[in-house]
Every structure is written in C-alpha cells, then in structure tokens.
C-alpha cells in the first residue's frame, strides 16, 4: 500500500467512504487501488488530479484540515505536480510574471511577520523584486521592519516610506504596465489579483511619489 495515498486521506480528514463519494467510485475500487499501489515502485493510487479535487473539496467545505493538507502535498508530491496543485505557488508565478513585464512596482508589507518567513510567498516576491533591479518602492508600517527584514531575509531595503494605515490592509503589490495597473493582495493561502478599480485606487493612494533612483516617477492614475 502507498503511504502517500493513506497520508493524503488522513491529511484531508477523509475516510475511504468519503473519498468514494467524492470521486464517484466504489469503496472496493479505492481499497483495491490503494492496496495495489506501492511506495517501493513509487506508484500511488491517487493521482495529482485526484489530489487537486481533494484540495478543492477541502476549500469549498471550509475544512479545518486545509492547512495540514497543503503542507502534506508540498512535502510529498514532486515539484512538477505541486506547482500545479498549490495555490501559493501558482499565485507566486503569476505575480512574478506580472512584475517582470511591469514598468514600476510598489510593494507594501502590513507587519504580519509570518509573511517574512523566507519561504513565504510574500518574502519570495520581495526577493524577486529587489534582485531584479526594477524601479520599485517599498512601503512599511514602521521603521522596525527594516532591521527585521535585513536579519531574516538578508535583504538591504530600498528606499522606503512608512505608512501607518498599512496595518489595516493585507500586504500587497501594485504593478504599472504601460497604461494599466494591476494589484495583488497576499491572502491566507495565495496572492489574489484585485479588480482593476481597486488596483488603480491603491496606486493613486500610495504611489504618487518619485522613485528612489530618480529615474522613474510613479504617477497617480486618473
């Protein structure tokens, strides 16, 4: 029997009967499939597509096992599959691509220290941005963040501005692409793109200032 199959159901809080109902299969079919699977031959009964269905089910049912399930998938599935399964990895790739094509980027941290853990999506996005050399501006909720960021992430903060109101918002990134503005809020599990009017409002409120290098000016839209 594949321990990955058993671990997937356990992490999701599902019984074989629950899985049979979810996949419209018989319990006998699932028992047989799990029994035939083998760790030795790196063969599992539940495919990556099945795992995606289980993740969606956990989210739709507001399962309190969702975080445990996400950790299990990240630890037990190959990178080629987790890149498709995990919301934060998909979201991070979307933000990375948007930043790479943008002309100017504004990134704001709200003070939640969980988002400065090196493997967090926000920390990886910040790393991508600061290593790209792209015109950018950093907004922080207080001066204390700079030392913390340098110690935890080994990053030298670019020119930054302290904005007290950030503590009441999710951390976010706003990107100017020619004549359009895009914005992403860093939510519980994944960056989520905002509607265009929200993106333009964030840019207008927070980005009406010159960039640190003086070579690029952030202008409020409208």
- Per-residue pLDDT band at 71 (split at 50, 70, 90): confident
| Reported pTM | 0.64
User: For position 41, what pLDDT does the model report?
Assistant: 57
Range of weakest confidence among 41-45, 60-64, 199-203: 41-45
Asked if 208 and 141 count as a contact pair (C-beta separation under 8 A), the reply is no
Structure tokens at 191: 């960056």
For 59, counting Cβ atoms within 10 Å of its Cβ (0-12 exposed, 13-18 middle, 19+ buried), the class is middle
Q: Does pLDDT of 57 surpass 80?
A: yes
More confident residue, 98 or 214: 98
Residues 186 and 179: their CA atoms lie apart, in Å, by: 24
Decide: helix, strand or coil at residue 186: strand
User: For position 47, what pLDDT does the model report?
Assistant: 85
- Residue of 214, 205, 219, 204 whose CA lies nearest to 163: 205
User: For position 217, what pLDDT does the model report?
Assistant: 43
Q: How far is CA 214 from the centre of its chain?
A: 31
Q: Does pLDDT of 92 surpass 90?
A: no
Highest mean pLDDT among 6-20, 122-136, 206-220: 6-20
> Could you read off the pLDDT of 156-179 as tens digits, one per residue?
776 789 999 998 999 999 999 877
Q: Does pLDDT of 25 surpass 90?
A: yes
Residues 203 and 205: their CA atoms lie apart, in Å, by: 6
Q: How far is CA 170 from CA 7, 106, 131, 147, 201, in A?
A: 33, 14, 23, 21, 15
Residue whose structure tokens are 């922080």: 140
Structure tokens at 215: 């070579």
Pick the CATH number of 87-206 from 3.30.870, 2.50.20, 3.30.70, 1.20.120: 3.30.870
- Per-residue pLDDT band at 40 (split at 50, 70, 90): low
More confident residue, 158 or 94: 94
> Could you read off the pLDDT of 125-156 as tens digits, one per residue?
888 888 887 778 889 999 888 888 887 777 77
**DSSP-derived pairing of the beta strands 172-177 and 160-162:** unpaired
Decide: helix, strand or coil at residue 51: helix
- Per-residue pLDDT band at 10 (split at 50, 70, 90): very high
Q: DSSP secondary-structure letter at 222? A: -
Residues 27 and 19: their CA atoms lie apart, in Å, by: 8
Residues 170 and 216: their CA atoms lie apart, in Å, by: 26
**H or E stretch covering 16:** helix 16-23
Tell me phi and psi for residue 117, to 5 degrees.
-65, 130
Q: Does pLDDT of 220 surpass 50?
A: no
Q: DSSP secondary-structure letter at 208? A: -
Q: Does pLDDT of 108 surpass 90?
A: yes
């Amino acid at each position: 029997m594949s321990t990955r199959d058993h671990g997937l159901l356990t992490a999701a809080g599902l019984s074989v009967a629950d899985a049979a109902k979810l996949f419209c299969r018989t319990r006998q079919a699932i028992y047989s499939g799990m029994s035939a699977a083998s760790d030795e031959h790196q063969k599992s009964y539940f495919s990556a597509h099945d795992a995606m269905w289980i993740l969606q089910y956990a989210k739709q049912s507001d399962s309190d096992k969702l975080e445990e399930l996400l950790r299990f998938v990240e630890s037990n599935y190959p990178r080629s599959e987790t890149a498709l399964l995990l919301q934060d990895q998909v979201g991070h790739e979307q933000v990375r691509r948007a930043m790479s094509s943008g002309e100017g980027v504004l990134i704001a941290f709200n003070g939640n220290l969980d988002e400065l853990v090196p493997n967090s999506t926000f920390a990886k996005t910040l790393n991508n941005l600061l290593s790209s050399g792209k015109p950018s501006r950093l907004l922080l909720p207080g001066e204390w963040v700079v030392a913390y960021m340098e110690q935890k992430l080994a990053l030298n903060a670019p020119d930054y501005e302290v904005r007290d109101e950030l503590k009441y918002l999710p951390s976010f990134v706003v990107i100017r692409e020619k004549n359009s503005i895009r914005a992403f809020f860093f939510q519980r599990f994944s960056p989520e793109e905002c509607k265009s009017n929200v993106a333009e409002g964030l840019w207008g409120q927070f980005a009406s200032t010159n960039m640190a290098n003086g070579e690029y000016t952030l202008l409020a839209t409208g």
